[in-house]
Amino acid sequence: MCQTVDMNDDARTPAEEVGVLLKEAQSLLHQRMDERLRPLGLSVPQYACLQALRDSPGITGSELARRVFVSRQSMNVLLQGLAGRGLVERSEQPGPRRERATVLTSAAAGLLDEARGAVAGVAGTMTDGLPADDVARLRALLAACRDALAGAPSTADGRP
């Protein structure tokens, strides 16, 4: 893990450049998503939360927080907001480990479909200039970077 990088000149290492590009691309993507989602009354974390709940209904708040990359407390207030708008429903009687299972309501399904369309459009503008095999390659490379940073081998979760 110890790479003695040469810091004596102005040049950035290719790895650093990838890091900068990563931040720039993600920041712009987040910004574009926010522009599209806000008219629907959703923030990007809220959309990510709904999307995660759609993929895994009945999930606990803590697991949700991990997937959306926020703390349990932030996810809690986020869920309170969504519950107040009738988009999610939290089981009142806690489960085996004091867990409160959370599910989407039917009202959320329609809104989420609309939001998914908007997000897919934004993501499309990002990759439309690239041939399909380049997109696939980019996906594989990003997955490799993520796994390397997570430290977990995780066998690159094959999801074709």
Partner interacting with residue 154 (select from DNA, a second copy, none; CB below 5-8 Å by kind): a second copy
For 88, phi then psi, to 5°, come to -130, 165
Q: Does 39 bind DNA (CB under 7 A)?
A: no
Shortest separation between residue 127's beta carbon and DNA, angstroms: 25
* Cα separation, 93 vs 95, whole angstroms: 7
Are 78 and 70 in contact, with CB atoms under 8 Å apart? yes
Task: Return the residue of 39, 55, 84, 97 that touches a second copy, per CB under 8 A.
Answer: 55
Q: Where are the beta strands (DSSP E) in the chain?
A: 88-90, 102-104
Residues in the chain: 160
The identity of residue 68, as a single letter, is V
Please count the helices (runs of H) and the strands (runs of E) in the chain: 6, 2
Q: Does 56 bind DNA (CB under 7 A)?
A: no
Residue span binding DNA (CB under 7 A) among the ranges 6-14, 56-64, 113-121, 126-134: 56-64
Partner interacting with residue 42 (select from a second copy, DNA, none; CB below 5-8 Å by kind): none
Residue span binding a second copy (CB under 8 A) among the ranges 29-37, 73-81, 90-98, 103-111: 29-37
Residue span binding a second copy (CB under 8 A) among the ranges 57-65, 79-87, 101-109, 117-125: 117-125
Are 119 and 54 in contact, with CB atoms under 8 Å apart? no
Are 104 and 54 in contact, with CB atoms under 8 Å apart? yes
Partner interacting with residue 84 (select from DNA, a second copy, none; CB below 5-8 Å by kind): none
Binding mask 71-110 for DNA (x = CB under 7 A): xxxx-xxx---------------x-xxxxx----------
